[in-house]
Amino acid sequence: MADLLVVRPGPLTTVQDLGRRGVAHLGVPRAGALDEPALRAANRLLGNAPDAAGLETTLGGTALRPSAPVVVAVTGAPAPVRVDGRPAAWGAAVRVPAGALLEVGAATAGVRSYLAVAGGIDVPPVLGSRSADLLSGLGPAPLGEGDRLPVGSAPPGPAAEFVPLPGPPRELVLDLLPGPHAAWFAGPPPVAGYRVAAASNRIALRSEGPPLVRARAGELPSEGMVLGAVQVPPDGLPVVFLADHPTTGGYPVIGVVPRADLAAAAQARPGTPLRFAPRRG
């Protein structure tokens, strides 16, 4: 069985699949790839199952050395791909010989690239998923230099030759469904004038811009939170919950961003203009 030696882990590279489903009642976040369509696309290019685990890099890429020949695909944020220093394809299946150095460089746009390998990253599952959860600490730790990642058996296929994907957003537009506490705020829901904050991470996309004004004082008891919930903490700046979000929270929820919009949120760099598009449920 092949494994991948981590030569350069990058700023933050984690193992991710499609996440943990049905365990929020235990206080366990969903986790999983922030840009789910990108991971699915990488797996399709290799003939993997849609939920096969791959690697999610953050801005700076990663470098790996396989112990046996492997086939990989890189999607998500565009980034240079090299095998032993020679340019290789992004968004396509690439054969990597045993012992060759596979490098995914810094993202040229967007935030998160996805590296899938034929057979998937075969780390032990925890509660039905191989995903690293940075909030609860479940799953494998972020990659470190010298780590070895086992690779599963290569699938029989068929593999896709091309999978189209949208580019990273120049302006992030998020639909906003009404939330349970919209009436807690003066005026209409947030619309324009926001930017993606540098403090954004796998837990939440944070915003910079005009703070929302509370029309109702008081606090809420903790209640269940869903993926895409838009909480408004005391500073008045909306926070959009992503894959590693806590399963409960006590700040008012002004709205919910549909799941289909969250892949773009995962690829929005700090400083990207952010606009909410309120609509009826």
Q: Is the pLDDT of residue 281 over 70?
A: no
Strands (E) across 38-165 are located at 54-56, 62-66, 70-76, 81-83, 86-88, 94-96, 102-104, 113-117, 148-150
In a domain, 114, yes or no: yes
In a domain, 67, yes or no: yes
As a whole number of Å, the CA-based R_g of the chain is 19
Q: What is the mean pLDDT of residues 220-229?
A: 90
Element spanning 43, H or E: helix 36-46
Among 66, 60, 61, 76, residue whose Cα is nearest residue 118: 66
Query: Do 122 and 191 share a structural domain?
Result: no
The H helix count followed by the E strand count for the chain is: 2, 20
Enter the tokens of residue 13.
């590279």
Per DSSP, the three-state class of 184 is helix
Question: Are the C-beta atoms of residues 46 and 159 closer than 8 Å to each other?
Answer: yes
Residue 264: how many CA atoms within 13 Å on its side-chain side? 19
pLDDT of the residue at 158: 75
| Residue entry with tokens 């596979």 | 102
Count of structural domains, the chain: 2
In a domain, 166, yes or no: no
What is the CATH classification number for the domain harbouring 215?
Answer: 2.40.100.10
Query: Do 176 and 68 share a structural domain?
Result: no
Range of the domain at 14: 3-150
The model's pLDDT over 164-208, given as tens digits with 9 standing for 90+, comes to 888 899 999 999 999 999 888 887 777 889 999 999 999 999 999
Query: Do 274 and 192 share a structural domain?
Result: yes
Cα 112 from Cα 171, distance rounded (Å): 17
Cα 133 from Cα 41, distance rounded (Å): 22
Question: Are the C-beta atoms of residues 49 and 155 closer than 8 Å to each other?
Answer: yes
In a domain, 142, yes or no: yes
Query: Do 176 and 146 share a structural domain?
Result: no
In a domain, 162, yes or no: no
Confidence class for position 234, pLDDT limits 50, 70, 90: very high
Element spanning 266, H or E: helix 262-266
Cα 61 versus chain centre, distance: 14
Query: Do 42 and 127 share a structural domain?
Result: yes
Query: Do 138 and 12 share a structural domain?
Result: yes
In a domain, 157, yes or no: no
pLDDT of the residue at 122: 97
Confidence class for position 256, pLDDT limits 50, 70, 90: very high
pLDDT of the residue at 190: 78
Query: Do 119 and 183 share a structural domain?
Result: no
In a domain, 159, yes or no: no
Q: Is the pLDDT of residue 218 over 80?
A: no
Q: What is the mean pLDDT of residues 25-38?
A: 91
In a domain, 193, yes or no: yes
The model's pLDDT over 76-105, given as tens digits with 9 standing for 90+, comes to 999 999 999 999 999 999 999 999 999 999
pLDDT of the residue at 88: 98
